[in-house]
């Protein structure tokens, strides 16, 4: 799908220290990619 005249902006997600943990952790990566997220910033533990 092409968007003529539209510039797509990269998306950034800010997450907490629990981001990407738990039973749905694979979707923390898959879901963000499917939504066009280019960067995830989280707290390091």
Res 5: pLDDT: 55
Residue 31 CA to residue 3 CA, distance in Å, equals 22
1 belongs to a structural domain: no
Helix/strand/coil for 42: strand
Q: How many domains does the chain have?
A: 1
6 belongs to a structural domain: no
Helix/strand/coil for 26: helix
24 belongs to a structural domain: yes
Res 1: pLDDT: 46
Res 11: pLDDT: 85
18 belongs to a structural domain: yes
Domain span at 26: 11-42
22 belongs to a structural domain: yes
Helix/strand/coil for 30: helix
Tens digit of each residue's pLDDT (9 = 90 or more) over 1-45:
455 555 667 789 999 888 888 888 888 889 888 888 889 999 887
5 belongs to a structural domain: no
- Main-chain dihedrals φ then ψ at residue 44, nearest 5 degrees: -85, 140
21 belongs to a structural domain: yes
């Amino acid at each position: 799908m092409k968007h003529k005249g539209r510039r797509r902006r990269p998306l950034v997600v800010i997450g907490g220290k629990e981001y990407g943990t738990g039973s749905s952790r694979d979707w923390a990566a898959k879901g963000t990619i499917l939504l066009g997220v280019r960067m995830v910033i989280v707290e390091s533990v």
